[in-house]
Amino acid sequence: MSGTLPVTFVKGFHNEELVRRMEYRKLGGTNLRVSVLALGGATLSALFDKKFDEEEGIRTVQEAIKSGINYIDTAPFYGQGQSEQVLGKALMDVPREAYYVATKVGRYELDPERMFDFTAAKTRESVKKSLGLLGLDYVDVLQVHDVDAAPSLDIVLKETIPVLEEYVKAGKARFIGITGYDVDVLKECAERAKGRVNIVLSYARYTLLDNTLLRHMKAFRELNVGVICAAAHALGLLSNAGPQAWHPGSQELQQVGRHAAEICKQRGVELGKLAMYYSMQLEGAATFLIGIPNRRLLQINLDAVFNGLSSAEQEVLQYLRENVFKKSYSWGSTLSTISDFK
């Protein structure tokens, strides 16, 4: 509900008018009311863009929070600590009560042989390092990164999550989440956790290209887990700029994205804005998380939240849905993407 101020509002720091316009929703069974637009930390590193501008990234984080975004997600894997470090610098000048921050464990290095480690020892070491890089005494959410890439869910449930529970008990974290691409595995893990998982983050599974997340929204609601719907732009595919060379999608999929981008450019609209608006119509999700590396893209996405689409943009979106995005696409699994993030 927009209009009321969330507990994260800090008078004198926030832009009160924008905070009142932002919609905030309860995140599952947690006591967090999160902004409908959330800031993803993957683009606060060189993971996707070797020319990442750190100073611009820092200013973008600060402006995002002042504008009412109160949920920020990062991970050790994003730039091998760079995202957490940049975020830590950005948050130095932000009141701690003004935001919720989530980080992850389980996925670390670019080398496929050393990328994943779900052991208790590595998890313990990882959380300690993340808190140091972020410069925080605690995070709001600790998540197991890409549970669909674990050797089995047994290690996640018996080794990884128990360590996260230790940190919650010690006051170093408040809630526990899981993330992944395979929605079936997310559902199975949440069910087997029997109440120990509070949040699921699904990426690129409710977009103009793929609506697979719908399959388990009812189950997630019954499990009382909050749903974070991430990557509305399908890792850059659904934008006028188009996908980068590392994108894991097939040539057919990428061609569909390029075709949509050409139509948008011809008609003077931004495909990324249409993609974000479309994803945000998903009922039952608490927040929609995307990477926003600069203030220009921040404004485009805030515009989609605050003002919706113009009649011309609505017209193009309808045309694309009827003529371009006529079927659901996916690009396989988390594992099929691991060697592409270089």
Euclidean distance between the first and the last CA atom of the chain, given in angstroms as a whole number: 40
- The alpha carbon of residue 2 and the mean position of all alpha carbons in its chain are separated, in whole angstroms, by 21
In angstroms, rounded to a whole number, what is the distance separating the alpha carbons of residues 129 and 16?
34
Name the catalytic one among 24, 71, 78, 181.
Answer: 78
Q: Using an 8 Å Cβ cutoff, are 39 and 61 in contact?
A: yes
Cα atoms in the Cβ-side hemisphere of radius 13 Å centred on 191: 10
What SS3 state is found at 203? strand
Residue type, 313: E
78 belongs to the catalytic site: yes
In angstroms, rounded to a whole number, what is the distance separating the alpha carbons of residues 35 and 290?
12
In angstroms, rounded to a whole number, what is the distance separating the alpha carbons of residues 8 and 14?
9
Positive or negative, the Cα torsion across 182, 187, 188, 189? positive
Positive or negative, the Cα torsion across 48, 208, 69, 334? negative
Q: Using an 8 Å Cβ cutoff, are 142 and 102 in contact?
A: yes
What SS3 state is found at 72? strand
Looking only at the bridges linking them, the beta strands covering 175-180 and 141-144 are parallel
Instruction: Indicate which residues carry an active-site annotation.
Output: 78
